């Protein structure tokens, strides 16, 4: 299921709609995929060199990770090294589900379908094509596994 959903928050929400275990796995898979983009960005930034407006920028500034990836990696590290009390883990799970609902709602509120429709059918074709390809690959994978 999560292979055919593009957005991270929608994939996680879809996972939790199925079961708590599926939601947990969807969260780990989608956020890990996002976190793995960081090495690609770092390599590309090294290959491209400094931006023209900041030629003297130190290398560590060019390799700085976005805050949400740093927070995700820190949380994974903390959760791997420290055993959380059951009450704190339960509270954190409830908070994360609430924040997920806010993220999905914010994504939906931010979408301007009227602007997409004003651009005509050419703006919609890539979205439809990506969705159909993702669906076909997911369906093909599901049929070969079953």
Based on the domain organization, do 77 and 145 belong to the same domain? no
Total of domains in the chain: 2
* Domain co-membership, 107 together with 118: no
Domain co-membership, 70 together with 127: no
Please report the pLDDT score of residue 96 as a whole number: 80
Q: Is residue 130 part of a domain?
A: yes
Q: Quick one: average pLDDT of 37-56?
A: 67
Position 55 in a domain: no
Residue carrying the six token digits 């009450």: 87
Same domain, 95 and 128: no
pLDDT of 23 > 80? The answer is yes
80, containing H or E segment: helix 67-81
Residue given tokens 């997911």 in the structure block: 138
71 falls within a domain: yes
The model carries a pTM of 0.41
Asked whether residue 43 is assigned to any structural domain, the reply reads no
With beta carbons less than 8 A apart as the criterion, state whether 26 and 2 touch: yes
Q: Is residue 51 part of a domain?
A: no
31 and 70 share one domain: yes
Task: Tell me whether residue 98 is in a domain.
Answer: yes
**Does residue 107 share a domain with residue 124?**
no
Note whether 107 and 137 are same-domain residues.
no
**Co-location of 124 and 84 in the same domain:** no
Nearest to 124 by CA among 106, 43, 132, 103: 132
Looking at residue 54, the DSSP 8-state letter turns out to be: -
Same domain, yes or no, for 125 and 89?
Answer: no
CA distance 93 to 66: 23
Output the pLDDT for position 81.
92
Q: pLDDT, tens digit, for every residue of 74-120?
A: 888 888 899 889 998 889 888 887 887 777 677 666 667 777 678 77
Percent of the chain with pLDDT over 90: 2
d(CA 8, CA 14): 10
The sign of the dihedral angle between the CA atoms of 136, 19, 83, 98 is: positive
Cα 23 from Cα 111, distance rounded (Å): 24
**Residue 2: pLDDT over 50:** no
pLDDT attached to residue 1: 45
Determine the structural domain holding residue 17 and report its residue range.
2-35+66-111
17-28: average pLDDT: 84
pLDDT at 28 over 60: yes
Q: Calculate the alpha carbon distances from 70 to 36, 62, 73 in Å.
A: 12, 15, 5
């Amino acid at each position: 299921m999560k292979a055919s959903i593009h957005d991270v928050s929608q994939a996680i929400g879809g996972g939790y709609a199925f079961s708590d275990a599926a939601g947990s796995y969807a969260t780990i898979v989608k956020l890990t995929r996002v976190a793995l983009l960081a090495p690609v960005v770092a390599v590309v930034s090294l290959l491209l060199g400094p931006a023209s407006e900041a030629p003297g920028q130190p290398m560590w500034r060019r390799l700085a990770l976005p805050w949400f990836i740093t927070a995700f990696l820190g949380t994974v590290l903390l959760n791997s090294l420290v055993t959380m009390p059951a009450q704190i883990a339960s509270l954190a799970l409830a908070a994360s589900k609430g924040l997920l609902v806010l993220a999905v709602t914010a994504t939906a509120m931010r979408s301007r379908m009227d602007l997409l429709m004003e651009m005509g059918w050419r703006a919609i074709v890539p979205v439809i094509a990506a969705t159909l390809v993702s669906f076909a690959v997911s369906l093909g994978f599901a049929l070969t596994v079953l």
